[in-house]
Chain A
Amino acid sequence: MDVLALSRLQFAVATYFHFLFVPLTLGLSLLVAIMETAFVRTGDADYRRMARFWGKLFLINFAVGVVTGLTLEFQFGTNWSRYSAYVGDIFGSLLAIEATVAFFLESTFIAVWFFGWKKLSAKAHCGAIWLVAIASNVSAFWILVANAWMQHPTGYVLRNGRAELASFVDVVTQKFAVLEFVHTLGGAYTLAGFFVLGISAWHLARRQETAFFQKSFRIAAGWTLIFAIFEIAQGHMNAEILQTAQPAKLAAMESHWLTGAHVPMHLVAWPDEGEERNVVEGLSVPGALSLLAGYSTDTEVKGLKDFAAGERPPVLPLFLSFRAMVGLAFLFLAVALWAWLARNGIEGQPRLLKLLPWFIPLPYLASELGWTIAELGRQPWIVYGIMKTKDAASPIAAGQVATSLVAFVLVYALLGAVDFYLLGKFARRGPEPLRAE
């Protein structure tokens, strides 16, 4: 393999792995903040135990999330130096803003929260976890603005042999960025919701700490339902904007070859990229793709044949990832609705209690599928329409990248195994017994 292929593979490993820890950080920080606020408001010590128990799981997850995020900042320079030199004027400043505005706050106050249980007043301590929650979500905003700029560059001018900033406001407030941000948050909050529901259900099925986990369950049930609904309604907007912003990605997601109006949506298909057609098409809804893309069956949707073969993203993985992600989203909605309806008598619902722990891993899968669509669907571009991925890699020896790739796989496999083992161990152990303090 050459430097480009190795660097892409390494970036994929680093990003997929990093994103196993990000969504739980985004969602669980808020849920812990809500629990601790309930403690401050009511004085009910159970809420305080909840903040401690879920907060401990948060920290185990957070540790790996932070260190694997470091990798990404390094990698733009180490492996994608041509990209960094070309777009650093815009992309680099967004990362620097993230560090200054959000990452400092998050990293400083997570320690205040952990070490501050006795040193701070209840209110100040609760304030610390709110700062962590807000900072991690603000951090996500800047990172996603940076990614959205790669997906849909705006507010720039090509000058001095690079992309230079022309309008900061355009970069930060563009619709693509806002949509990407809220879509990522919706997915992250759904994931965190199922995490709390799943672990609570596991304990409730065993009749352990019933009151504690009933309370946790009730908070998470409403939360998860809200974001499961939100994610589907809002997700539609993300597909819709592709019609104008990234038509090749949209066509690949739908395995749609011929430009035209009244385009159907095939729920089942199997593309043959060599033949430039689908060898299997089934369960087609007439006009549905046109309707979804432009609110009218008359809407023209560009087909893959309008793009030269080298300008198309890989069709099969995009088509399958999109089908699987959307299918999972509807499944989450159904299960979240069931959990919400059953929230008050949950201990009497053995089937739901058995089912929910299995829904802990599925939102992780949906998140990774979403990123597969976003990043693979942007290919062959690294910055859509401006710079191709093949022109972006560092001019370095392939051996160096091969070595670091092997090291990443080994170290990350170890970290992942240890971290998920610890999460499982402390999730099963349950909360610390109530003690007088």
Chain B
Amino acid sequence: MIMLETIWFVIWGVAWAVYFMLDGFDLGLGTVYPFLARSELDRRTVVNAMGPFWDGNEVWLVTAGGVTFAAFPRTYAAMFSGLYTPLMLLLFALILRGVAFEFRGKIDSAAWRRVWDGCLVLGSFLPALLLGVAFANIFRGIPLDADGLFHGNLLTLLNPYGLLGGLTFVAIFAVHGLLWLGTRTQGDLRSRATRMARSLWVVELVLAVAFLGMTWFSTTLWRNVLGRPVLLVLPLLAVAGLLGARVYLGRGAWWRAWISSSVLVLGAVLFGVAGLYPNLLPSSLDPAASLTAFNSSSSPLTLKIMLGVVLCFLPVVIAYQAWVYLRFRDTITSASLEDGPAY
């Protein structure tokens, strides 16, 4: 049954990677938009640039969580109870963010919109930061005992490596979001997005290099990946995506830049996941207490049935989401916003 658990480990990693690739751009855009949008027209443009997509993107988070619960219930139990406070913060951030999209335009008042814009910014920045901190700590190992009990608190997670992971996520998502905005806007707003993306790309580069470097010292990720050299393609893809994003940004090729940035996110997350294998939640107290794809998995019958479900339905999901991206990617103008439908 080694195959089955490994397949589920891969599905688990891919679900997270796709989640970060898709929701990453709207979390990033939500984070930077107060610094980018100057007028109400700008703000509406930014909000509507993610309008048709953010909700469907967020379901990948539910799916990643659901995959953890279904395939690795002991990991789900230890992870969610152990990381109680950060997950509650993440949850409240996502709640306020979700309703902000629907509520902000419903009352014609600047003060009202400011409140929900605030929720949108906080609700985008916090998830990016918290997920970065959480994943960096998972890469590093968390204080987990043999019963799956977490010995620590929020401060345990806010170690230098965890914080660097959080900031790296925020920077990657911010650039990813700005590149997305470039594909759907024009004029002055897009020029500002270009300038901001160029400066933030440098920050992204510095943080990414620092994070990858510190990963060598703080985790066993690199050693695991070097043990299976074919997996080196993942960090190489990430580097290529990072550089490609800058090259295409310089040429104003927005779609290519965004796709490069997506390759960066996929490559980086999958590198981390590959480096973890077979651990899902490594213990920093005792390696034997780590929760792995093997000691925390569901029964073979459940894994087989769920594999059937995922193989039948995820391709369909990907197909219709791709269709939505292709159908709703048109440039947003003041006329198209006036004419509606729009947030």
Contacts and interface: CB of A to CB of B under 8 A. Distances in A.
A112 B53 CA distance: 9
A215 interface: no
A203 B320 CA distance: 39
A396 B149 CA distance: 9
B61 to A, nearest CB: 8
A64 B320 CA distance: 24
Interface residues of A, number: 70
A70 B91 contact: yes
Interface of A: 59-60, 62-64, 66-68, 70-71, 73-74, 76-79, 81-82, 84-85, 87-93, 95-101, 103-105, 107-112, 114-120, 159-160, 162, 164-166, 168, 394-396, 400, 404, 407, 411, 415, 418-419, 422, 425-426
B80 A74 contact: yes
Interface string B30-60: 0000000000000000000001110110110
A88 B69 contact: yes
Given A394-B84, A407-B88, A114 B299 contact: no
A302 to B, nearest CB: 34
Contacts of B51: 111, 115
Given A93-B70, A103-B59, A112-B52, A78 B99 contact: no
A403 B55 CA distance: 28
Contacts, number: 215
Contacts of B78: 81, 85
Given A79-B81, A84-B76, 13 more contacts: A63-B102, A70-B91, A77-B77, A85-B77, A88-B77, A93-B70, A95-B69, A96-B67, A100-B314, A108-B324, A110-B55, A395-B149, A400-B88
Interface string B301-343: 1100110011001100100110010011000000000011110
A71 B81 contact: no
A164 B88 CA distance: 29
A96 B77 contact: no
The 10 closest A-B pairs by CB, nearest first: A88-B73, A77-B80, A92-B69, A96-B66, A81-B81, A63-B102, A81-B77, A96-B70, A394-B81, A108-B56
B92 interface: yes
B186 to A, nearest CB: 19
Chain B facing A: main interface SS: helix
Interface string B252-273: 0000000000000000000000
Contacts of A71: 91, 95
Interface centre among B67, B73, B74 (most CB of A within 10 A): B73
A119 B51 CA distance: 15
B95 A415 contact: yes
A90 to B, nearest CB: 7
Contacts of A118: 339, 341
Contacts of B305: 93, 165, 168
Given A84-B69, A96-B69, A112 B324 contact: yes
Contacts of A84: 69, 73, 76-77, 80
B270 to A, nearest CB: 20
